[in-house]
Amino acid sequence: MFDIGYSNQAEKFLKKADKILAKRLINKVDELKNTPIIHDTKIIN
């Protein structure tokens, strides 16, 4: 599990963004915080 911090620019964007979009973005970041590597991720060198 990781700690997540948002920059001032990111916070301003989320406040101005559509509420549904902001909620989807925050939920996805929280999901990635708990499981950082998605099972179908491909590593490219």
pTM: 0.68
Q: In angstroms, rounded to a whole number, what is the distance separating the alpha carbons of residues 44 and 39?
A: 15
Give the E-state strand segments of 1-45 in sequence order: none
Neighbours of 26 (CB within 10 A): 13
Q: For residue 26, what pLDDT is reported?
A: 93
Q: In angstroms, rounded to a whole number, what is the distance separating the alpha carbons of residues 32 and 24?
A: 12
Q: In angstroms, rounded to a whole number, what is the distance separating the alpha carbons of residues 15 and 27?
A: 15
pLDDT by residue (tens digit) across 24-44? 999 999 888 887 776 676 777
User: Which residue, 8, 10, 1, is CA-closest to 34?
Assistant: 1
